[in-house]
Amino acid sequence: MADTSSQPTATAPVRQLPLAEFVAMTAMLMATNAIAIDIMLPALPAMGERFGVAQENDRQLIVISYMIGFGISQLVYGPLTDRFGRRNVLFISLAAYAVAGVCCIFAPNFSTLIAARVFQGTSAGGSRVIAVSAARDLYAGRTMAKVMSLVMIVFMAAPILAPSIGQALLAVVDWRGIFWFLSGFGAVMFLWVLFRLRETLPKERRVPFNVPTILRNYSRVFATRETLGYTVASGLLFGGLMSYVSSSEQIYHEVYHTGAMFPIWFAGAAGAMSVSNLINSRLVERFGMRKMSHGALLGFVLVSAIHAVLASQGPVPFGIFYGLMLVAFFMIGFQGPNYSAIAMEPLGALAGSGAAVIGFASSFAAAMIGGFIARQFNGTITPILIGHFVVSALALVVILITERGKLMQPHHLPPP
């Protein structure tokens, strides 16, 4: 029998875009989220000054509020796009993203700015869900894996470059220019989709928007042991990551006084994660998801423990802090994609609901956990690094419970 794993689904429409353009578009749609977070990190002090934010830790809400909207919205976008098609919902998402940037520009006070950021995060949730859904509509099997690997490599440029773009904008305009940039980016993506992307979900494959069915599917997802366990672990893992992102401007400026070098140091940590993502894509088929992710989790717990002990004993020299942070980010890159794949593995027809739940956990739960840790910042790195150790240890406990005490063991699902 011929191998058709690399062929598109039978009902998929004729592809309009060349592979390279589709990969670029998908990566940019997913990057609407990363850019909206990281591009404004250099502007947080100016925004805090403009709105009279008395507590410096409150500036972190500009990041955390966005992530809350982004996380919750994915639970809604999944069923919407399955019912009304990818393209129609994506137009609404991108238009709202552009409008939200303008709302942030003209926010009269800090509370309104936070509300506008929630709105902006809510709009970006659609771009992420639909980008992945469209790729799944058009590609299958090994080709789908290849496409998403290429997408992630391109996508990782966003957190690496965004702070530098933000700092470059601040050299010529004030903080409002960053939101004008985001609105313009949303408008460009809207036009790109309008003229180049066809609908990828045929009408005969769409499903009714039925609230009882949606709730029943979500309950079945939460009742699946591997899905629940690895989703919780992902929320903990990305909670630690978000605590670093939210407090990074304070860490690099107030603790280590890196000044204009902040975007460079921030990009280095993101680059370490992108390198491990690339290595994981090359080795995971050989060694398996569990060996790769469990080994990285143990390494992350060890590095976090060393970091926390050093910080609790006094100031940590920048070289040691940054070196250990690079190792920690390198370990995270082996966990995120593998946790998602393991969580999705047993779901079968519930894959769409599962993807929405996992996206929710890795953003909303991460925002809540990361926000709590970041707000403990007290002028030193100690609370952040202790928080990293706590969440990594809890993630290890969750994985051990999920795997019934056995780590790095291959797992085979029973035949359907």
Give DSSP secondary structure letters for 169-222: HHTTS-THHHHHHHHHHHHHHHHHHHHH----S-GGG-----HHHHHHHHHHHH
Query: What pLDDT score does 151 carry?
Result: 74
As a whole number of angstroms, the distance between CA 122 and CA 56 comes to: 25
As a whole number of angstroms, the distance between CA 104 and CA 113 comes to: 5
Choose the weakest-confidence range: 89-103, 224-238, 321-335, 355-369. 355-369
Mean pLDDT of all residues in 47-55: 89
Choose the weakest-confidence range: 2-6, 83-87, 106-110, 121-125. 2-6
- CATH code linked to domain 14-209: 1.20.1250.20
292 and 399 Cβ atoms separated by less than 8 Å? no
- What letters, b where the CB count within 10 A reaches 16 and e where it falls short, cover 44-65? bbbbbeebebeebbebbbbbbb
**Fold match flag (14-209 vs 211-404):** yes
As a whole number of angstroms, the distance between CA 263 and CA 99 comes to: 27
| Residue bearing the bigger pLDDT, 351 or 189 | 189
Domain boundaries of the chain, sorted by first residue: 14-209, 211-404
pTM of the model: 0.78
Place of tokens 């530098």: 164
Q: Is the pLDDT of residue 2 over 60?
A: no
Number of neighbouring beta carbons within 10 Å of residue 115: 17
Query: What pLDDT score does 17 carry?
Result: 77
Superfamily grouping for domain 211-404: MFS general substrate transporter like domains (1.20.1250.20)
